């Protein structure tokens, strides 16, 4: 078994990351991956701070770390493979719901064409020991190439989980709803579908998950205020209050 922890360097790590890292690293041998393809949000200068915070928390990982921005051609290759099979289409609709042909289009995966290519509209994945069915007739078309970054999280994460032979994915339950499109891409590409373990989220308040804006709860600020790594991990665990799906 092999798992991974895959933060995006869009801010300093906070309590939510401490908990997520603990969940991922406790599943088994764990790789670290930097998911930094979103150049509108990622801050490369934070990568070293993330390594430092994770080491301070007591985590360790094999080198080299896969840094996604160095592998954009790999993600492009997946897009080209899906496109060559006629599964993708251009969408000029912008966020406002209107068409704008002056901007590059987003590229979407046609679920209907994917169903034809697969010969089935039913897929499934393992969530822990449970089998979760996926009814593709209910899955709307997803964007696989964002017009602003030229690829997408869906493509990069599934490609890298395959490339790195990840058997088990531990991640927050806010990503649970993304799993059907991940399984669809894996099925189309002939990649094994890893077992998923979505965990509960650290909450900032009863109804709001911890976010990058939670400046006072960064690992760094807690460390500077004199907390030990064990105390920070305890605090993270104590702030989890939503059951995983
Ligand atoms: N990079 C994603 C995040 O920071 C995690 C992706 C995943 O685990 O699938 O939320």
Each residue's pLDDT tens digit, 29-46: 999 999 999 999 999 999
Is the pLDDT assigned to residue 243 strictly greater than 60? no
Closest ligand 1 atom to 161 CA? 9
Residues framing ligand 1 (Cβ under 6 A)? 6-8, 35, 157, 171, 175
pLDDT band at 216 (very low <50, low <70, confident <90, very high): low
To 5 degrees, how large is the angle CA 157–CA 163–CA 166? Answer: 75
- Model confidence over 148-207: pLDDT tens digits? 999 999 999 999 999 999 999 999 999 999 999 999 999 999 999 999 999 999 887 777
Q: Is the dihedral of CA 161, 166, 170, 173 positive or negative?
A: positive
Smallest Cα–Cα separation from 161: which of 35, 36, 46? 35
Residues of the chain with pLDDT > 90, as a percent, come to 88
The pLDDT confidence band at residue 214, using thresholds 50, 70 and 90, is low
pLDDT at 207: 73
Is the pLDDT score of 59 beyond 90? yes
- In the reported structure, the alpha carbon of residue 6 is separated from the centroid of ligand 1 by a whole-number distance in angstroms of 5
13 alpha carbon – ligand 1 mean position (Å): 13
CA pseudo-torsion sign 242, 228, 20, 41: positive
Q: Which residue has the higher pLDDT, 132 or 102?
A: 132
pLDDT in the model for residue 212? 67
Residue 123 burial by Cβ neighbours in a 10 Å radius (0-12, 13-18, 19+): buried
Give me ligand 1 centre to Cα 46, in Å.
16
Q: Which two tokens stand for residue 45?
A: 């200068």
| Percentages of the chain per state (helix, strand, coil), in multiples of 5 | 40, 20, 35
* Model pLDDT, residue 21: 98
Nearest ligand 1 atom to the CA of 170 is 8
How far apart CA 163 and CA 158 sit, in angstroms, is 9
* Beta-sheet strands, E only, within 77-213: 88-91, 106-109, 122-127, 130-135, 142-145, 168-172, 195-199, 203-205, 208-209
């Amino acid at each position: 078994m092999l798992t991974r922890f895959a933060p995006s360097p869009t801010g300093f790590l906070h309590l939510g990351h401490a908990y997520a890292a603990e969940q991922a690293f406790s599943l088994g041998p764990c790789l670290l991956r930097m998911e930094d393809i979103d150049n509108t949000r990622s801050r490369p200068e934070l990568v070293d701070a993330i390594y430092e915070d994770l080491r301070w928390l007591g985590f360790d990982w094999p080198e080299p770390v896969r840094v996604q921005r160095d592998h954009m051609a790999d993600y492009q290759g997946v897009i080209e493979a899906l496109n060559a099979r006629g599964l993708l289409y251009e969408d000029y609709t912008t966020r406002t719901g209107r068409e704008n042909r002056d901007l590059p289009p987003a590229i979407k995966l046609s679920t209907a064409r994917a169903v034809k290519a697969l010969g089935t509209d039913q897929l499934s994945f393992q969530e822990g020991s449970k089998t979760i069915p996926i009814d593709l007739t209910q899955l709307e078309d997803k964007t696989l190439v964002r017009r602003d970054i030229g690829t997408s999280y869906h493509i990069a994460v599934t490609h890298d989980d395959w490339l790195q032979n990840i058997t088990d994915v531990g991640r927050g339950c806010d990503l649970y709803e993304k799993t059907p499109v991940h399984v669809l891409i894996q099925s189309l590409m002939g990649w094994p579908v890893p077992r998923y373990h979505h965990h509960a989220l650290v909450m900032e308040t009863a109804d709001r998950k911890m976010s990058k804006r939670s400046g006072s709860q960064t690992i760094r600020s807690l460390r500077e205020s004199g907390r030990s790594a064990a105390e920070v991990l305890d605090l993270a665990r104590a702030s989890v209050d939503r059951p995983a799906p």
